[in-house]
Amino acid sequence: MPRKPAAIPEEQANEIEEIEPELNDKKDEIENLNRLLAAVLDYLSDDEVEVIDIEYLLENTEGLREWWNQYRERNRKKIEQEITKALGDLSIEELENLREKIKGNDKE
């Protein structure tokens, strides 16, 4: 004889309700990324395009510039860590030269 399905405890039901919007957000994000990727690949595969113009892609693909800026900002910490690690390998002369270049940029 088949068993009667067990009722989902209220606590688990609440957890499921909290997870569902997150899943929908992820699906929306995946759909958006698929759209962006398709637009870029369409552009790259166009035989009439002789020179790839990244600025054109960013300007004419809705949402691509915003995504690119967000991606760069998320990777900021990684870049900072790479630079910090690389600084430890430089000689004192190289560090002083780098400091002068940075000071020169600050004056501009």
3-class SS at 77? helix
Tell me the pLDDT tens digit for each residue of 57-72.
999 999 999 999 999 9
Copy the structure tokens of residue 100: 């002068």
Q: Return the pLDDT at 63.
A: 95
- Predicted confidence band of residue 107 (pLDDT cuts 50, 70, 90): low
Copy the structure tokens of residue 27: 């699906």
Tell me the pLDDT tens digit for each residue of 72-87.
999 999 999 999 999 9
